[in-house]
Every structure is written in C-alpha cells, then in structure tokens.
Amino acid sequence: MNMVRSMLIEKKFPKNFWPKAVNWLVHVLNRSPTLAVRNITPKEAWSQIKPSVSYFKNFGCTAYVHIPDNKRTKLDDRSLKCVFLGVSGESKAYRLFDPLSKTIIISRYVRFEEEGSWDWDNSYEEAILVDLEWSDSNTAATNAEEPTDTNA
C-alpha cells in the first residue's frame, strides 16, 4: 500500500482512485523481476512467455485520446485530454479517465505526455465561472467610467 500511496501523492490524485492504482501496480509488479523467482518475472514463471513492457506509462500522466471522425464535427477538437489509469483487462487498449465528464474511456489511439499531470486542485466549471465573471465586471467598469468622462 505504500507504493500505491506514493503513486497517488505524486500525481495529486483523489483518494477514491486507489483501486485503479492498485490494479496498475499489480500489473507492473507481475512483469518486474522479484527475489521470489530468480532471473525471471512472475508472469514469465506462470506462462513461460517473457512479458513485454514497452507499453508501460507513468500512472496518472496526461494522455490525449483520439476522437473518431463519426463522433465529431468539422471544427471540433480531434483529441480529448484525459488521465492515464492503466491498461484494459478486456482488450489491448489503455484505460483513461476524463475528469471533465467523469467517465472512463478505453482506447488504443492515445498519445502520452508522461511528464505532465492533471491539475486536480482546479475544477473546469470554476474556471468558466471566473472567466464569465471577469468579462461581466470589466463591461460594468467601462460603462461606469464613460459617464464620468463625459461630465468632465
């Protein structure tokens, strides 16, 4: 559990993602050398096939999943910014979390930004409200200034 705790703290994940972190950690540990089985990994000892680790990514890194042509219009974005949670157990695909819609996405067409991470402290809805409030107060300030300038 110490490894899971450190993974969540490193990427500033909410604590309710601990089962996803455990799944990814067990997946990685089964494909890593251990002292229990000399010179091979636990996965290799079980299946007699050396596992590939080329698809390993940093847990919680930023990922951009491709949006298919039939799901978007001409001027929509071609990708969606998500957070990497691990690999899918059902298919050869990645498991991603979309923090804005709060949904799990499973896709093979993903680009990773392993150094980046999602800013869990700020919420998207608050950013929209702050932007709208700023433009409204700016308009009110310019309207209030105009009559004082004409009177002078």
| Total count of domains within the chain | 2
State whether the Cα torsion 148-149-151-152 is positive or negative: positive
| The residue type at 21 | A
Q: Are residues 65 and 8 in the same domain?
A: yes
Same domain, 18 and 57: yes
Parent domain of 51: 2-121
Query: Is residue 95 domain-shared with residue 43, that is, in the same domain?
Result: yes
Assess whether 86 and 26 both reside in one domain: yes
Q: What is the pLDDT of residues 7-57, one digit of tens each?
A: 888 878 888 889 888 988 988 888 888 888 888 888 888 898 888 888 889
* Rg, Å, the chain Cα set: 23
Q: How many CB atoms lie within 10 A of CB 7?
A: 20
Residue 85 has pLDDT above 60, yes or no: yes
